[in-house]
Amino acid sequence: MRQNPILTNDDRDNPLGMLTNLFDVAMVFAVALMVALVTHFNMNEIFSKEDYTIV
């Protein structure tokens, strides 16, 4: 019987293997959300070296 190359024995034996992929997706989503919020609210002064105050 031909084995599916996507699911190898290592993938089936490791139940937490998919959890690492979900963590990576969550980190990419969090960074994209932060960048989107900074650009939407025009808070570019956060990245400058000058002092600023957020009220």
Measure Cα distances from 14 to 2, 6, 27, 53 in Å.
21, 14, 22, 48
Which residue would you say has higher pLDDT here, 40 or 52? 40
**C-alpha span between 9 and 40 (Å, rounded):** 46
Report the pLDDT value the prediction gives residue 33, as an integer from 0 to 100.
95
- CB proximity list for 24: less than 8 A, separation 6 or greater: none
Two tokens at 48? 């400058």
Single pTM value for the model: 0.53
Report the pLDDT value the prediction gives residue 49, as an integer from 0 to 100.
76
pLDDT digits (tens, 9 = 90+) for 2-42: 555 565 555 567 777 777 788 899 999 999 999 898 888 87
pLDDT over 80 at 46, yes or no: no
**C-alpha span between 32 and 27 (Å, rounded):** 9
